């Protein structure tokens, strides 16, 4: 995984999107910008009003040349997308999928950790008891959008959705997972291993796609003898996330399975308000995109009650990707300090603070 080149000024494209996107993006970017300034560097942001309201005016979620526009930026920050009352979800999601596929952001990176001061729904789990990463294949698999409908809206209607698994696509996401496990070194040399990659599969039922997935896993695993191999069917994995979350290090999953198990991961770390994610192009041929993984929650828009921690953490991941490690560390420490203190918390955390008050508390800790 290449590091960003050394530079002092960075440009970020911000797409706040729909619902609560504007208010959480505001807090995240304010904190990201200040942390970078404190290291003697600079980050600037251009905001784009793409989303469901844009669709109602232009019959498209973003302009036709959006990818060309975004390609000039160092990174993309996405708030959240979707408002089913305005635009069907399968249409609004096209904004996200178009950017992921257009910029070959084939790694969806989802850290799952429990913060001190955050209530875990699992009994007797200390903060250090949940610390793993899910690597989700992000541009093909079950979300390849290949298929069709025959004789629609009749009693003979047929719908076909085809999954696509390429050797190139499968190998590269698994190689990323093994490299990450090697870098994390979570096992610290126990039994000669430095890390572990769990293969999330369903090859007992999906006898073509997932058997192929398992075969490629074995081939890639052979390149990393210091990383322990592990296997779990997706249904069993869901059970083990609950029963023994501390067991996991890095999990690699297909697009669909990764989508599902990361929501489960979010809940065991305290809720969707803590779940940040990255859509990464590891080769840096194109900009990568960072986002909280929760939805747009239109019914809460403008009420300033949404937890901004996931959005702020997505900003931290963006800084880390850009090579701004010092700024990223600053943000991470500020978030952990505010949560551990437990005085400024939104409703989902048992508090009464507004979105902007939590954001300001994190901002103040930077100082």
Here the CATH number for the domain that contains residue 55 is: 3.40.718.10
| Pairwise CA distance, residues 70 & 103, whole Å | 10
The first and second tokens of residue 141, run together, are: 């698999």
How buried is 251 (Cβ within 10 angstroms: 0-12 exposed, 13-18 middle, 19+ buried)?
A: buried
Domain count, the chain: 1
Query: Residue 325's CB: how many other CB atoms inside 10 A?
Result: 12
Q: What is the pTM of this model?
A: 0.93
Q: For residue 297, give the nearest of 308, 287, 306, 289 by alpha carbon.
A: 306
The pair of structure tokens assigned to 349 is: 């955390």
- Percentage of the chain surpassing pLDDT 70? 98
Residue 228 lies in a domain: no
CA distance 301 to 19: 5
Q: Which sign, positive or negative, has the C-alpha torsion 162, 167, 169, 170?
A: positive
Q: Do 278 and 96 touch, CB atoms closer than 8 A?
A: no
* Structure tokens belonging to residue 127: 């903060």
Please check the confidence at residue 271 and state whether its pLDDT lies above 70.
Answer: yes
In a domain, 202, yes or no: no
User: In the chain, helix, strand, coil percent, each to 5?
Assistant: 45, 20, 35
What percent of the chain has a predicted confidence (pLDDT) above 90?
92
Angle between helices 21-37 and 325-341 (to 10 degrees): 120
Q: Give the residue numbers spanning the domain of 297.
A: 9-106+275-367
Cα dihedral 87, 278, 49, 67 sign: negative
Confidence of residue 188 (pLDDT cuts 50, 70, 90): confident
- Report angle CA 205, 153, 256 to the nearest 5 degrees: 30
Confidence of residue 190 (pLDDT cuts 50, 70, 90): low
**Residue 252 is assigned to a structural domain of this protein:** no
- Asked if the model's pLDDT at residue 59 lies above 80, the reply is yes
Q: Cα-flanking dihedrals φ and ψ of residue 162, to 5°?
A: -105, 130
Tell me 247's DSSP state. Answer: G
Residue 205 in domain: no
Q: Count CB-CB contacts under 10 A for residue 275.
A: 24
Give pLDDT tens digits for 99-143. Answer: 999 999 999 999 999 999 998 899 889 988 999 999 999 999 999
Q: For tokens 């302009």, what's the residue?
A: 63
């Amino acid at each position: 995984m290449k590091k960003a080149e050394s530079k002092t000024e960075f440009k970020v494209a911000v797409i706040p999107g729909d619902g609560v996107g504007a208010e959480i993006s505001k807090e995240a970017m304010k904190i990201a910008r200040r942390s970078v300034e404190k290291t003697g560097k600079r980050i600037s942001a251009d905001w784009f009003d793409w989303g469901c309201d844009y669709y109602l005016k232009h019959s498209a979620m973003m302009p036709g040349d959006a990818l060309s526009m975004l390609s000039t930026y160092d990174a993309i920050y996405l708030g959240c997308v979707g408002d089913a009352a305005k635009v069907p979800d399968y249409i609004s999601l096209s904004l996200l999928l178009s950017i992921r596929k257009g910029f070959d952001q084939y790694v969806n990176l989802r850290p799952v950790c429990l913060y001190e001061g955050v209530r875990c729904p699992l009994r007797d789990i200390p903060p250090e008891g949940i610390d793993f990463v899910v690597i989700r294949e992000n541009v093909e698999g079950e979300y390849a959008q290949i298929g069709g409908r025959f004789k629609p809206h009749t009693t003979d209607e047929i719908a076909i959705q085809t999954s696509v698994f390429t050797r190139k696509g499968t190998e590269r996401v698994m190689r990323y997972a093994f490299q990450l496990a090697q870098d994390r070194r979570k096992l610290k040399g126990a039994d000669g291993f430095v890390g572990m990659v769990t293969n999330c599969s369903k090859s007992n039922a999906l006898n073509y796609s997932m058997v192929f997935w398992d075969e490629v896993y074995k081939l890639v695993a052979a390149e990393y003898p210091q990383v322990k191999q592990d296997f779990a069917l997706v249904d069993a994995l869901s059970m083990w996330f609950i029963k023994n979350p501390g067991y996991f290090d890095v999990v690699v999953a297909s697009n669909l399975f990764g989508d599902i198990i990361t929501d489960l991961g979010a809940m065991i770390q305290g809720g969707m308000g803590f779940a940040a994610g990255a859509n990464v192009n590891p080769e840096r041929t194109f900009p990568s995109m960072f986002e909280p993984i929760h939805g747009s929650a239109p019914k809460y828009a403008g009420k300033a009650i949404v937890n901004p921690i996931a959005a702020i953490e997505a900003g931290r991941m963006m800084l880390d990707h850009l090579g701004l490690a010092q700024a990223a560390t600053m943000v991470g420490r500020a978030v952990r300090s505010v949560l551990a203190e437990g005085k400024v918390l939104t409703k989902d955390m048992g508090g009464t603070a507004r979105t902007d008050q939590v954001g300001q508390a994190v901002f103040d800790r930077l100082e």
